[in-house]
Amino acid sequence: MARNLLTKPAAFQETFVRKPGADKTNTHYCPGCGHGIVHKLIAEALSDMGLQDRAIIVAPVGCTVFLYYYFDCAAVSVPHGRAPAALTAISRAHPEAIAISYQGDGDLAAIGMAEIIHAANRGENMVVFFVNNAIYGMTGGQLAPTSLIDMKTTTSPYGRSARNDGYPFLMSEMIASLRAPVYVERVSLDTPKGVLGARKAIRKALKVQEERKGFAFVEILSPCPTNWHVDPIAATEWMREQMLPVFKPGVYKDIVSEVESRPIERRSLSAEDLYRVMGVAEEAGREKTTRPLPQGGVRCKFAGEGGQGVLTLGVLAAQAAMEMGYHVTGLPSYGPEKRGGKVNLSLVVSTEPIGSPLVEETDVLLAMNAFSLRDFLPSVRPGGMVFYNSSLATRPPEPPPRVALLGAPAQELAEQAGDARAANSVLLGAYNAVAGILDGESLRRALVYCFAKPRIVEINQKAIAAGEAYAKAKFPADS
């Protein structure tokens, strides 16, 4: 049945309810921008081909970072340039999906060059729609990898120089030179005929994905009146006069008819296989028991500086919790400094599946120094506990209301156990003595997992025991 071309495709939101602000009917793109045209062509194709419910579109940072405002299908935003990497995971985890990457030239051909080249070289099952307007659009009109020779931008006010800036990247030619891609075409939006050519190329690329034949790449030359500083009519003329002689439209590779469809392979591992792959096959039959936890689990923050074993502390606690059968997530955060920089790790332990690894309000804080104690103490919620290294934090701040502040001389106790570097294990022992979440056997197995050398395992066992003994004597259970 013929569809009225003036109606909105089903793959578009009827109204753009996800878009903030009062205007729910118009896109955020500038007048004369080509993104709206490309969006419509993709939405029409998804609707007409019956692919809407299977489509997963990935858009990174750029003018289209809010693509999910408009499409009524699964859409994901990812960091700048990383769409092909993220889509690789999506395509492999959901082989039945129609995996689509939607990227601009500043994104794909600059910071994302490694991702797109390697995804194409692997022949991933995905479609890449590459919108090329020869400039950075969202961030103010800087020189892009596709900017033309002599083209003036905010970062090339005298024009692009081949000597200083190199030549424009010809992405379709580059992708087509690889062995794995099956379909590569460049189209242009400068005329109605060009738009119809783009429509045809987009549908063919989606067909390649639907038939699981590999990697398809469609480069779409698009106007950017705002950053070219011309009106929409002049922008299309500039495209014809300046862009098309350099970025010649055409089919650069089409071996679709020569390629067999790849069967959908959904791999799944049994518990025994998973233990074997992870190198812990002996764990498969061991019965695991958990202890009751508060609703929502326990949200922990381990903090200190690089070199204090903060991340090791988090891994140790997480491994012990997993040994007991809890659900666990860990999220580290640290700067570029190898030693001395701020480090923290968020850990969530629960008897139920965990929705997010983020820890904003903390139940338990283990602070290895005065700075981390000061920084994270305000995030501990009422009823929470703070264990800090009193060897370094000698003047602790006043705790928030209904927060227990418990100090232990971790450095001295660790030295007595055999090595001052085990101060992190002292704090873990002190916490476990008071909270009692982890059992001794699970901690022992976690130590063996984290430390290969028996001597290190023994020292940290002693450090944990020292922290437990100190906490039991200093902070009795009924105090």
Q: pLDDT, tens digit, for every residue of 438-461? A: 888 888 888 988 887 899 999 999
Checking if the pLDDT of 118 tops 50, the result is yes
pLDDT band at 72 (very low <50, low <70, confident <90, very high): very high
335 and 205 inside one domain: no
Instruction: Please indicate, yes or no, if residue 169 is contained in any of the structural domains.
Output: yes
Per-residue confidence (pLDDT) for residue 71, from 0 to 100: 95
Q: Same domain for 231 and 313?
A: no
Please give the share of the chain, as a percent, with pLDDT higher than 90.
Answer: 69
Same structural domain for residues 368 and 229?
no
Instruction: Check whether residue 390 and residue 434 sit in a common domain.
Output: yes
SS3 assignment for 41-88: HHHHHHHHCCCHHHEEEEECCCCCCCHHHCECCEEEECCCCCHHHHHH
Is residue 299 in a domain? yes
pLDDT, mean of residues 461-473? 92
Domain-embedded: residue 283: no
Same domain, yes or no, for 372 and 228? Answer: no
303/243 same-domain check = no
Q: Is residue 18 situated within a structural domain?
A: no
Quote the CA–CA distance of 312 and 424 in Å, as a whole number. 8
pTM for the model stands at 0.67
Separation of alpha carbons 120 and 114, rounded Å: 10
What local confidence, expressed as pLDDT, does residue 4 receive?
54
Question: In the structure encoding, which two tokens stand for residue 122, read together?
Answer: 């692997």
Q: Does residue 194 share a domain with residue 331? A: no
Which range among 75-79, 117-121, 168-172, 212-216 shows the weakest confidence by mean pLDDT? Answer: 75-79
The average pLDDT across 309-333 equals: 90
Taking only the tens place, the pLDDT of each residue in 35-70 is 999 999 999 999 999 999 999 999 998 899 899 999
Q: How many Å apart are CA 224 and CA 18, to the nearest integer?
A: 25
Is the separation of the CB atoms in 236 and 191 below 8 Å?
A: yes
| Domain membership flag for residue 74 | yes
Whether residue 224 sits in one domain with residue 295? no
The tokens of 8 are what?
A: 């909105």
- 479 occurs within a structural domain: no
CATH number where 310 lies: 3.40.920.10
Q: Parallel, antiparallel, or unpaired: how do β-strands 327-334 and 342-350 relate?
A: antiparallel
For residues 279 and 173, the model is more confident at 173
- Is 479's pLDDT higher than 70? no
CATH code for the domain of 120: 3.40.50.970
On whether both 145 and 74 belong to a single domain, the answer is yes
Lookup: tokens for 133: 């307007």
Residues 6+ apart with CB under 8 A from 268: none
Q: Of 240, 258, 276, which one is at a domain's C-terminal end? A: 258
State whether 434 and 299 are in the same domain: yes
Residues near 260 by beta carbon (within 8 Å), at least 6 away in sequence: 213
At 101 the pLDDT is: 97
299 and 253 in a common domain: no
Q: Which of 217, 241, 258 is at the close of a domain?
A: 258
Domain-located, residue 274: no
- Domain total in the chain: 2
- CB neighbour burial string for 89-104, b if at least 16 within 10 angstroms, e if fewer: ebbeeebebbbbbbbb
- Per the prediction, the chain carries an average pLDDT of 90
8 A C-beta contact, residue 59 and residue 65: yes
Strands 298-305 and 342-350, by their bridges, are antiparallel
pLDDT digits (tens, 9 = 90+) for 359-396: 888 999 999 999 999 999 999 999 999 999 999 999 98
Task: Tell me the mean pLDDT in the region 1-23.
Answer: 79
**Rounded to 5 degrees, what are φ and ψ at 382?**
-55, 135
Residue 348 domain-assigned (yes or no): yes
Given the structure tokens 């929409």, which residue do they identify? 232
Distance of alpha carbon 336 from alpha carbon 338, whole angstroms? 6
Judge if 233 and 322 occupy the same domain.
no
* Segment 221-277, tens digit of pLDDT: 999 999 999 999 999 999 999 999 999 999 999 999 999 998 777 777 777 777 777
| Domain enclosing residue 300, as ranges | 288-474
Q: How confident is the model at residue 82 (pLDDT cuts 50, 70, 90)?
A: very high
pLDDT confidence of 284, banded at 50, 70, 90? very low
What's the confidence (pLDDT) of residue 287? Answer: 57
Instruction: Please identify, among 241, 258, 275, the residue that sits at the C-terminal boundary of a domain.
Output: 258
